[in-house]
Structure 1
Amino acid sequence: MTFTQLEIFALVAELRGFTAAAMRLGVSQSAVSHAIKSLEQELGVQLIERQGATADVTELGKRLLVRAREILGLAESMRQEVAAASGLNKGLLRIGSFGPTSSLKLIPAILDVFQKRYPGIEVRIDEGTDDDTLQWILDRRVDIGFIQQPDDRFDTVDLVEDQMVALLPAGHQLAAKKSVSAHDLAHEPFIMPDAGCSTLIEPLFAAQGLCPQVRYRMSQVLTVLGMVGRGDGVSGMAELALPVNLASSHPNIAVRPFSPPVRRRVGLALRNLAQASPAAKAFVEVARKVKL
């Protein structure tokens, strides 16, 4: 068993394809297939199932994939420990990000400082939902992830706090109010954003014995904004998830805070901060000091 075989296994699993993995690595597809076959023969199990052009990890393969990523992570940490002795001038940092809050607001500000301080560190960012990011951390696909706090399964670092706000068509009767409650929105057609915000919105209604009248579920913020602006319904979203230029780009949307206020904390999560790689620890230190 070699590091190269484990790296190829992890990449095929991530990209769900032999061809995509070969292109990423700059090698032939036959070389990727040979590495996987050799690893499977050595372990005596099937790791990958081919479904046409798609490659899916078997159930046992999923468990072994976590171990493979753990081994690769330890090897990367060793390389970074050596590099850190001379200034942490090379290495790899894998980051998980959810939604516009982290991808558009937090990561650019932190990376601006981090890359200037550690230009030799390669940064790879996987983007998905909040649940995706949590699973990637558990599966060791990423070293560190932006999540909605708290989560007792991880070591976490608070970064910012914002509030949930209601999104209303500008001409809606509720737009005349300074704030809105779950009762105000309970009978309105609701457009539910699925990228993390629903885990805060649904309990807001449930706490008062209510249930939002969900007409649509959307994963993209701009789609939600477009539908609210057309008058298709109302919605709720974290303030940091909204575009900075919302007032000018969507003048037909009114934003109102919830009453009572609903706060949200966003931060970083790692499996174990004390055992994190030097690059991950450096990223945490930079993130703590950057004004967000």
Structure 2
Amino acid sequence: MTFGQLEIFVALSEAQSFTLTARRLGISQPAVSHALKSLETALNVSLFDRQGSQIVLTPIGAQLLERAREILGLSRTMQQEAASFRGLDTGNLRIGSFGATSSLQLLPDLMSAFHRAYPGIDVFIEEAADDIIVKWLEERRIDMGFVVLPDDRFETIPIATDQFVALVPRQSALAKQERVTLSDLCNDPFIMPESGSVKIVSALFAAAGLTPQTRYRTSQLLSTLSMVGRGQGVSVVAEMAVPAAHPDAPWVIRPLSPAHPRMIGLALHPTAVRSPAVTAFLRIAKTLRTRPRGA
């Protein structure tokens, strides 16, 4: 059993395709097949079930996948610690990001500061919805990820304070109000954002004993902005996810009354060993904590 075989095993579990795995790793498809066969022979178990052109992890394969990720993570940590001892800041870092809030508002400053301090460390950003980021953290596919706090499943570090706001058409009566209540938003067709905030937004209305007139469900923020701008409904979104509005934009945001803040943080698997790259990134992140616009 070699590290190369484990890397191919992990990559194959994510791509679920010999062809895609070979392309991703820059090796031949026969090399992927040979590595998997050699690993299965060494372990004396079948790691995948072949179902036509697709492959699916066997129960023991799913169990050993977590061990493989642990081993590879420890290997990377050892390499980075050795490089740090030699005075070489090299390595890599995998971060999960959930859309506009973290990818557009938080990561740019973080990445700029990190690359200035550690130009030799490669950072890979993987984007997905909130629940997928959590799944990747649990599977150790990423070293850390942005999550909405609190989250007791992980070790977390608060990074930014955000808040939910009402998104309404500029020409509507609601746009003339300084603040908008959840009850106000129940009088118009509601556009439910499905891109990760749906559980939180639904919980806000439920806690207030209200039910919005959900007529549309959108998976992209740009779709929500466009529909609200055309007067097709109203919505509730995270303030940090919304781009700065042009004076002529057909939509506006208004603070909710009462306010509904949220805290965003970086999360790590509780048993993961922190590599020097992870430690360095967290140290920089703590110095660049952000507050919502207008706070």
Q: Same fold (TM over 0.5)?
A: yes
Query: Secondary structure at the residue paired with 2:208?
Result: coil
SS in 2 for 1:167: strand
Mapping for residues 123-138 of structure 1, pairs under 5 Å = 123-138=123-138
Q: CA deviation at 1:104?
A: 0.9
The residue identity in structure 2 corresponding to 1:198 is V
Q: Which residue of 1 aligns with 2:182?
A: 182
Provide the identity percentage: 50
SS at match of 1:182: coil
Q: Could you say if the C-alpha distance between residues 247 and 59 of structure 1 is closer, same or farther in structure 2, counting changes exceeding 3 Å? A: farther
Q: How many residues align?
A: 290
1:61 maps to 61
1:98-155 CA deviation, whole Å, 9 max, x = no partner?
Answer: 0111111111110101111111111111110111111111100001111111101111
Report SS of the residue matched to 1:232: coil
Q: Counterpart of 1:44?
A: 44
Residue 10 of structure 1 and its aligned partner are, at CA, apart by: 0.7
Q: Residue in 2 aligned with 1:101?
A: 101
In 2 relative to 1, CA 51–105 (structure 1 residues): closer, same or farther, beyond 3 Å?
farther
Q: Check whether the contact 2:154–2:269 (CA below 8 A) recurs between aligned residues.
A: yes
Alignment of 1:1-292 (within 5 A): 1-244=1-244, 246-248=245-247, 251-272=249-270, 275-290=273-288, 292=290
**Could you list the runs of 5+ residues in structure 2 that have no partner in the other structure?**
291-295
Q: Deviations over 1:43-76 (max 9, x none)?
A: 3333223445443333432222111101100111
Aligned partners of 1:154 and 1:6: how far apart in 2? 25
Assess, with a 3 A threshold, how the Cα gap between structure 1 residues 213 and 285 changes in structure 2: closer, same or farther.
Answer: same
Asked whether the equivalents of residues 74 and 273 of structure 2 are also in contact (C-alpha less than 8 Å), the reply is: no
After superposition, the C-alpha distances for 1:3-58 in whole angstroms (9 at most, x for unaligned) are 11110011112223211211122210010011112222333333223445443333
What is the CA deviation profile of residues 208-267 of structure 1, one whole-angstrom value per residue up to 9, with x for unaligned ones? 2112222222221111111111122111111100113x235x711021111100001111
Secondary structure of 1:178's counterpart equals coil
Deviation at 1:88, TM superposition (A): 4.7
- Larger mean CA deviation between 170-179 and 151-160 belongs to 170-179
Return the alpha-carbon distance in structure 2 between the equivalents of residues 175 and 92 of structure 1.
46
Distance 1:54 1:225, change over 3 A: farther
- Greater Cα shift, 76-85 or 182-191: 182-191
1:87 and 1:148 map into 2 onto residues whose CA distance is 36
Q: Which amino acid aligns with 1:226?
A: S
User: How much has 1:279 moved relative to structure 2?
Assistant: 0.5
Change (3 A) 1:105 1:53: farther
The Cα of 1:97 is off from its aligned counterpart by: 0.6
Residues 160 and 289 of structure 2 are in contact (CA less than 8 Å); yes or no, is this contact kept in structure 1? Answer: no
The 1-side partners of 2:63 and 2:118 are apart by 33
**2:293: which partner in 1?**
none
Letter in 1 for 2:196: G
Looking at structure 1, the residues matched to 59 and 194 of structure 2 have their Cα atoms a distance apart, in angstroms, of 27
Unaligned 5+ runs, structure 1: none
